Each structure stands twice: as C-alpha cells, then as structure tokens.
Structure 1
C-alpha cells in the first residue's frame, strides 16, 4: 500500500514553511467552486470548510469535523508528517489518529519526515480540525486532507494531505 503526500494543491498558491520540527502552512483565498455532491458535516467551522473545499481537487468531498470521543472537545494540538496526523485534545489529553495514519505512524515510514507539531504563524499550536475526504467515482475515498483553524487568530491551513490507494475505504470517514 504505497502512499504519497501532496502539500501544494491550491491553484491560487499554498506555501509550506517548516521550522525546527514545526510545520507552518500559509494559505491564499480564492473563489471556491463547490461540487453538487459535496457534504459538509455539522460543526465544521465555516472558514475551514471553505478552505478545505478550495484545497482539494474537483472531486466531490465529505468534510467532517474532529471531535474528541472522550470529552466532546473540538480544540486540539496536532502532530503531522507525510504519513498522516495525530491529534491530542486540549481539554482531556485524549489522542487519536486521523484516517489511516496509525498504520503508517512509525519510524519505518517516517524516513526523514518525523512528525512535528502543527503551528500557526501567530505562534499558537491549538486548532479546530476538519478532514476533507475526496471521493472517487464509486464513492470510495481517494485523498485525505487535514485542515486546521487556529483558535487564536482564525488562520486556516492544510497541514497534511495523502492519497488512499486501497479499498474498501468507508471506515476512514469516521476516523476524523
């Protein structure tokens, strides 16, 4: 099961900067085209939903918010790399992997890409999170895109994005 990471996917420009184990993502807003089959889950911050829609290709998407199963919290510290993302609830310290990240979250897959803490340009490391699942022709997940919205200044960015090349994929839709 090979996987690849694509960070730069927005036509208007998405720039990625890294510093000492932290990942910073800068975004540029453009007009957003919406697919008729898009589904945005309840609780996705509006700005983040628009940003995620813009960042993915023209396939239909399902966008779901990250919600802590332990306490219902919606604010997280997030570790990211080319193999996926893991979030930690700022309310109860509960940890969870996003989509199939856990399968690839080890040194064998990291190579030179160890996980780093997601950080906003303002310095904050606390985010609301949502995931856009780009769907293929038969409704299976083809891409997982992790978007974060800084709770301090509202900055939105894409912090991880990877291809899914296996089926079935329905289980991924609940792993946000």
Structure 2
C-alpha cells in the first residue's frame, strides 16, 4: 500500500467535497512567487472572499475574484482567520474548480494543516458570471 502525500490528501478532500453538487474538474496548488507553499488564510464565506498570506515573504494574494469583491465592497470586510481544530494556522492551500461548459461555476478553497495534517475545504462559493475561466490563473 502506498502512502498518500500531503498534496494528494488535500486534493482528495477538495474532490470529495463537490461544492454546489458539481464535480471538481481541476485543482491548482497555491505557490508563492518566493517559492513557499505555506500560508495563512483569511476568508469571508458570505461574500466569497479568500486571501492568502505567505509566511516566508509576507506577500498577500487575493484568490480568484476576491480582489474585485474587496474593491467594490460598501465597507471594510473583516476576514475570518482560518484555524485548524488543533489550533494550527499554517496551511498548504489548493483551489478546486467546478467547470461547466466554458466557465468556472464553483470554487472550493482547501487547506491542509502543517501541524496535524488534517485537510478539508474551508470556504467555497458559486461563480455566477461569464466569462470566468480567467479564475484558473488567480490563485
């Protein structure tokens, strides 16, 4: 029996989640420009926003269409900090994409705790506009 890598565990948790009852067609791993793969994550489930912060270089990236949501918000959005049940805040991050036709229809942001290795989807939201395939590159 072959043991699963952390990335495989994370990808499995995203694929099995099937947000919006749509199968995940693609999963992309978040990797910082500095090469780091460990982040903290701020998110807002109600507005569909996720922002990753690199522990190595402190760069901040708004995932998917989060920057547009933040730019057009009527007021400041207070993001919830992702925290594992073990208390960990360092995560490997990946995004799952449900695609229908030529558009992304749903996104799922999955995290794998660096402390205890638990993996799961922390936030997800529907994409209700077209075209939306550009989101595949915004991780």
TM-score with structure 2 setting the length: 0.86
Q: Deviations over 1:103-143 (max 9, x none)?
A: 11265277xx731110001111010000001011x131000
Gaps of at least 5 residues in structure 1 are: 1-42
Question: Which of structure 1's runs of 4+ aligned residues deviate more than 4 A?
Answer: none
Gaps of at least 5 residues in structure 2 are: none
Q: Residue 145 of structure 1 aligns with which residue?
A: 108
Instruction: Give the drift of 1:160.
Output: 1.2
- Count residues with an aligned counterpart: 130
Partners of 2:22 and 2:129 lie apart in 1 by 20
CA-based RMSD:
1.9
The secondary structure found in structure 2 opposite 1:105 is helix
Aligned pairs for 1:8-47 (under 5 A) are 45-47=7-9
Residue 27 of structure 2 corresponds to residue 66 of structure 1: no
Q: CA separation of 1:80/1:60 partners in 2, compared to 1, >3 Å: closer, same or farther?
A: closer
TM-score with structure 1 setting the length: 0.68
Give the structure with the larger helix fraction: 2
Partners of 1:122 and 1:79 lie apart in 2 by 17
